[in-house]
Amino acid sequence: MAVDGLGTYDDNNVFAKILRGEIPCKKVYEDDWALSFYDINPQAPVHVLIIPKGRWVSLADFATSASAEQIAGFWRAVGTVAHQLGLEQAGYRCLVNMGENGGQEVAHLHVHLFGGAPLGPMLARRGA
Ligand code: AMP
């Protein structure tokens, strides 16, 4: 049973198509574990996505079913991308949206990496 309320993995999701090369992306980095590319709708001067090379719906799914090697390889790739983009000195933010309350739109695990300017508070203030 799915751990995350998102259902089973859909091979037709947009990131699955990018991984198969059926949809183009502006690639930043690729290794055995991960693919990174620029977000199509950037929310910061630098906004890239890092996705694992596997059929994981969400972080909950990944944490539950990926191997230690797959988890290590993926998170190392996140750090490598930040390093390659030169974001480490000034700093950056990683974000994973998970499930409905997290606002996850694409049901293939992805890490957002933001940088290039001060990013402000961690969450927008709720209306009074
Ligand atoms: P989330 O809300 O965390 O699921 O984020 C999904 C992200 O995927 C959004 O920031 C979108 O702008 C981005 N996105 C959707 N389609 C594409 C695409 N074809 N190439 C690059 N980024 C995309």
pLDDT single digits (tens) 44-75? 999 999 999 999 999 999 999 999 999 999 99
Q: Which domains does the chain have, with CATH numbers?
A: 14-115 (3.30.428.10)
Pocket of ligand 1 (CB under 6 A): 14, 23, 25, 39-41, 49, 97, 103-106
Catalytically active residues are 110
Ligand 1 binding pocket mutation candidate from 6, 12, 14, 114 (most atoms within 8 A of CB)? 14
Strand, coil or helix: what is 123?
coil
pLDDT of 77 strictly over 70: yes
pLDDT of 126 strictly over 80: no
Instruction: Identify the band that residue 15 occupies on the pLDDT scale cut at 50, 70 and 90.
Output: very high
Strands 46-52 and 92-95: unpaired
Q: pLDDT tens digits for 89-115?
A: 999 999 999 999 999 999 999 999 999
Q: Which helix (H) or strand (E) holds 93?
A: strand 92-95
pLDDT of 37 strictly over 70: yes
Atom of ligand 1 nearest to the CA of 96: 3
Which pLDDT score, from 0 to 100, does residue 1 have? 52
10 Å CB burial of residue 49 (0-12, 13-18, 19+) is: buried
Instruction: Identify the band that residue 128 occupies on the pLDDT scale cut at 50, 70 and 90.
Output: low
Contacts of 53 (CB under 8 A, 6+ apart): 19, 32, 33, 34, 35
DSSP alpha helix (H) spans, the chain: 14-19, 59-65, 68-84, 99-102
